[in-house]
Amino acid sequence: MNLALDVLYKIVVVQCAILLYRRIINALVEKRLVTEVAEAYGFKGPTVTLVEDYMKETRRGCAKNPSFAKGRNLVTYAVDLMGPDKSPADYASGLTILSTIFGPLCRVKVKPSKFQEQRGIIRYLILYAPSSHIFRLLLVLSNPRSSPYGSERPETQIITSQLRETRKHAANMVLHLADGVSVEQLPQVIQCISSLISTFKEHQRFFFTHSDYAKEEEDYLERLWECLHVLYVLAANENNCRLIIHTRGLLTKIMTPLASNLYHQTDHDTWENVLKESLKVINRLTATYGHGEGETGSKLVREIETNLEMEAVETMMSVLRCDKCSQKMGTLTMGILTNLHVQMQTADKVYLIEMLVHMYTTANSRTSALEALAKLCFQDGSNATIILQVNGSAVSSFTEDLKALNYGYHSVAEILQHACLHYTNDDECLRILKESMTDVIPKVITVLQ
């Protein structure tokens, strides 16, 4: 009898040891898995516990039903947490998970393929599935001037660190999903983006969760770039251009980096990306409606005249003159000024043409300047007369490029064609033009044959 009890006792001890060992191994494996997933997706600090909660729920579900994990992953788990029957705390947890998987928009542009499948699932579940109500709430949560959890006015609202964090994640989600929303939701999305483009002090109040000024400024410029980039993407559509132009106060915000001239007053590297994105948005808007025709075109030109005036025109001119400004920024600036040329005062028109001709004859970005001059001549043939008058050496440069059939010779040919048609002054310029054309045209025809 005692022998049997001893054997039974030993069996129980061995079973307990095996069970304990199994639990320890499972805990270690789970901890390592949590760490790997957290590091892969960018979860840090307290947010790592969200991955742990997901692992625990999956383990408990699988213990009851082996097929529990089928079709489930971290994304679907997060979306479930954001359901209408969940608590605000659960919603915030799900939002944090999805926003972390998306990551900052500016970094996604650097590595677009990373977690592309997961981002595609998120877009589908939030925008197109029955859970699309989640996106409507995101628009409310991301708006710093809304009160998602009460009726108090924003200026009297107590901004907690948790509310700031929630707004930050909601804004990140809206910016990532903006280009995929339905036509009906676009006005709300553009209005939401407009509310996110704020001053540095407003951004501090509504979004910042730390006291490091350098980090705050970096976050502010990053968010400003993200908002402008999304508007640039949306502006590829003419209807979206119209919505952007007619959204109250948005054009002023888009042009603020340009009108403030901060770029040349501070370190170029700090503001370059923001100013470049601002120029890209304005360039697309003016390319579509810069002619000033119709209600939308008139509003765009009126807003630009109100916000830019001479100060911002001078800022754009300074971009063309600045050696530190990138060639891309110079090209964008040329595009904007060319699009608005018809609406400019005569003095500004002459100044712009003079600068473009100078850039064509002396600067590195001569190809962009040449294309801009050709476009100006296409808009108004009499501009070719101004080109010849502001720079006597322009004709020689044009004919040399045409003779050599250099890149852009089609633009040169168009400029010279308009010059021949519109230049009527009987002076030295006309004599040089006639002699040059008489000399170069037969040679060009011979080469082309």
For residue range 180-219, list pLDDT tens digits in order.
888 889 999 999 999 988 776 676 666 665 566 667 777 8
pTM over 0.75: yes
| Most confident of the ranges 111-125, 190-204, 236-250 | 236-250
Q: In terms of pLDDT, which residue wins out, 57 or 314?
A: 57
Q: Which residue has the tokens 């650097």?
A: 110
Whole-angstrom Cα distance, residue 362 to residue 385? 20
349 has a pLDDT exceeding 80:
no
Q: What is the pLDDT of residue 150?
A: 46
* Structural domains of the chain, count: 1
Segment 291-302 shows an average pLDDT of 65
Confidence of residue 98 (pLDDT cuts 50, 70, 90): very high
Whole-angstrom Cα distance, residue 138 to residue 167? 9
265 has a pLDDT exceeding 80:
no
In this structure, is residue 251 part of a structural domain? no
CA atoms within 13 A on the CB side of 135: 25
357 has a pLDDT exceeding 80:
yes
Helix (H) or strand (E) holding 45: none
Nearest to 379 by CA among 425, 348, 414, 403: 414
In this structure, is residue 307 part of a structural domain? no
Neighbouring C-beta atoms of residue 121, cutoff 10 Å:
19
In this structure, is residue 420 part of a structural domain? yes
| Most confident of the ranges 25-39, 75-89, 199-213, 346-360 | 75-89
- Residues 172, 99: contact at Cβ < 8 Å? yes
256 has a pLDDT exceeding 60:
yes
| Most confident of the ranges 8-12, 240-244, 375-379 | 240-244
In this structure, is residue 405 part of a structural domain? yes
Whole-angstrom Cα distance, residue 95 to residue 228? 23
- Residues 351, 391: contact at Cβ < 8 Å? no
Q: What is the pLDDT of residue 383?
A: 86
Whole-angstrom Cα distance, residue 343 to residue 438? 36
Confidence of residue 152 (pLDDT cuts 50, 70, 90): very low
Whole-angstrom Cα distance, residue 157 to residue 144? 11
Whole-angstrom Cα distance, residue 335 to residue 313? 13
Name, in order, each residue with C-beta under 8 angstroms of 217's C-beta and a sequence gap of 6 or more. 200
Whole-angstrom Cα distance, residue 421 to residue 381? 8
Q: What is the pLDDT of residue 156?
A: 44
Q: What is the pLDDT of residue 263?
A: 58
Segment 284-303 shows an average pLDDT of 71
244 has a pLDDT exceeding 80:
yes
Whole-angstrom Cα distance, residue 173 to residue 361? 47
Helix (H) or strand (E) holding 143: none
Q: What is the pLDDT of residue 351?
A: 80
Q: What percent of the chain has pLDDT over 90?
A: 10
Confidence of residue 158 (pLDDT cuts 50, 70, 90): very low
- Exposure b/e, 292-315, CB count within 10 A at least 16 = b: beeebbebbbebbbebbeeebbeb
Torsion angle, CA of 166/171/176/182, rounded to 10 degrees?
110
Q: In terms of pLDDT, which residue wins out, 204 or 249?
A: 249
| Most confident of the ranges 99-108, 293-302, 373-382 | 373-382
Whole-angstrom Cα distance, residue 245 to residue 39? 42
In this structure, is residue 358 part of a structural domain? yes
pLDDT in tens, 384-436: 888 888 777 777 788 777 777 677 777 888 888 888 888 877 777 778 777 77
pLDDT in tens, 138-151: 988 888 766 554 44
User: Per the structure block, which two tokens stand in for 5?
Assistant: 């009890």
65 has a pLDDT exceeding 80:
yes
Output the CA–CA distances (angstroms, integers) from residue 20 to 14, 17, 23, 118, in the order listed.
10, 5, 5, 36
In this structure, is residue 192 part of a structural domain? no
In this structure, is residue 372 part of a structural domain? yes
Q: What is the pLDDT of residue 200?
A: 66
| Most confident of the ranges 59-63, 226-230, 408-412 | 226-230
SS3 50: helix
Q: What is the pLDDT of residue 230?
A: 94
Q: What is the pLDDT of residue 151?
A: 45
User: Per the structure block, which two tokens stand in for 179?
Assistant: 């280009």
- Residues 13, 5: contact at Cβ < 8 Å? no
In this structure, is residue 286 part of a structural domain? no
Sort residue 45 into left (φ over 0), alpha (ψ -120 to 50) or beta.
left
Confidence of residue 235 (pLDDT cuts 50, 70, 90): very high
Q: Where in the sequence is the domain holding 393, given as residue range(s)?
A: 345-449
Report the residue count for the chain. 449
Q: What is the pLDDT of residue 170?
A: 92
